[in-house]
Amino acid sequence: MQYRDYGNTGIKLSALGFGAMRLQEVEQNGKKQIDEEKAIEAIRRAFELGVNYIDSAYIYHDGYSEVLVGKAIKGLRDRIYLSTKSPGHLVKKPGDYRRILEEQLTRLQVDYLDFYYFHGIGYQTFRETDERSGWMKEAEQAKNEGLIKQITFSFHAPPQEMIQLIDLGIFSGVLCQYNFLDRSNEEAMAYARSKGLGVAIMGPVGGGRIAGLPEKIRQELNLPVESNVELALRFVLANPNVTCVLSGMGSLQMVEENARYAGNAQPLKQEEVKAINTLMKKYRRLADLYCTGCKYCLPCPKGIDIPSIFSFYNYYNVYGLKDYARKNYGGFGKFPWLPEIKADACSECGACEKKCPQKIKIREQLKEAHRVLSI
């Protein structure tokens, strides 16, 4: 495993971090639940392979991610770095930030967090939440008391807002989206590093889209990598401003593979990165609809399954799997696992767009998806 400096904090993180947002699940009584045994096994295996950083959030797995992580790190607390996130949408008044933080410490069964992120903020949302709740002051207070070691933020907004947040001078690190389909944060990440912040990356495989790219795209590059996932992880780690890449690892196999890729002591060379960038320009249309499948846009009052429709649209548009995409879209209402509502049920209320971290013009894209998929 490689270890890298987390900004100026003196902390060294493993190049691969364990994101506890897609833990292995089992179905019980018709409901999906975390498969505790398998999820703990995956986290423990990652630790054995050198991963020293685990990230959770209040909202992951409806709160059970933190509980599970707490169980998985029993006996390892002093050998791992642990982070979770403050859910700004629940911080409505003074005291909420602190109350939720204490609840999270209880769930995780720990006395302190190494990193506590303001979850998914932009500059505007951060300030608005601060005005109504004073969460910035409460974060500093929690740090003074030793409950939080580093005040950090995870970021979902236009890149210039990352710079505004960094300039507040209170953060020691940022967690943001970056991969070879979406390099929009690249300059802001360099700025963060120049100001002494650590930079952790989420979405290295673009919500799974990079993993699903046709083999021929990778073969065009002719690089010594065995899979698209390896290419994606090593691309991110070739950026010297990146401390660590977080991967949501839902199986032991993913842990083993990702640890091998991220542990590769030879990151991609600059000319190899350049070759990827050139090829991606050619496939520019891949990034046109950058839906990560995060589901923040849901629920839609009309019951539209927005991420599934976008996923079919991308199969159609990006991978050229036209029949497959149409057949699946046509299955809405026919297969029990797909809801009956198609994209044309959209009333254009716009509620989903306010919640989409990728700022996707969902209404427009739904119309286009329906147009091509319903033929």
Residues in contact with ligand SF4 by CB under 6 A are: 291-297, 300-302, 304, 306-307, 310, 346-352, 355-356, 358, 360, 362-363, 366
Least distance (Å) from ligand SF4 to the CB of residue 344? Answer: 10
Alpha-helical (H) ranges within 203-345 are: 215-221, 228-237, 252-262, 270-282, 306-317, 322-330
- The C-alpha atoms of residue 21 and residue 200 are separated, in whole angstroms, by 15
Cβ at position 298, least distance to ligand SF4 in Å:
7
Q: Residue 363 and residue 350: Cα distance in Å, rounded?
A: 7
* Range 271-287 burial, b when 16+ CB lie within 10 A, else e: ebbebbeeebeeeeebb
Q: How far apart are CA 371 and CA 375, in angstroms?
A: 7
Sign of the Cα pseudo-torsion (60, 64, 66, 68, in order): negative
**Residue 193 CA to its chain's centroid (Å):** 20
C-alpha to C-alpha distances, 16 to 49, 126, 208, 243, 328, nearest whole angstrom: 10, 28, 17, 9, 35
DSSP 34: E
Nearest-angstrom CA–CA distance, 168 and 263: 34
What's 268's DSSP letter? P
The conformation of residue 172, written as its DSSP 8-state character, comes to S
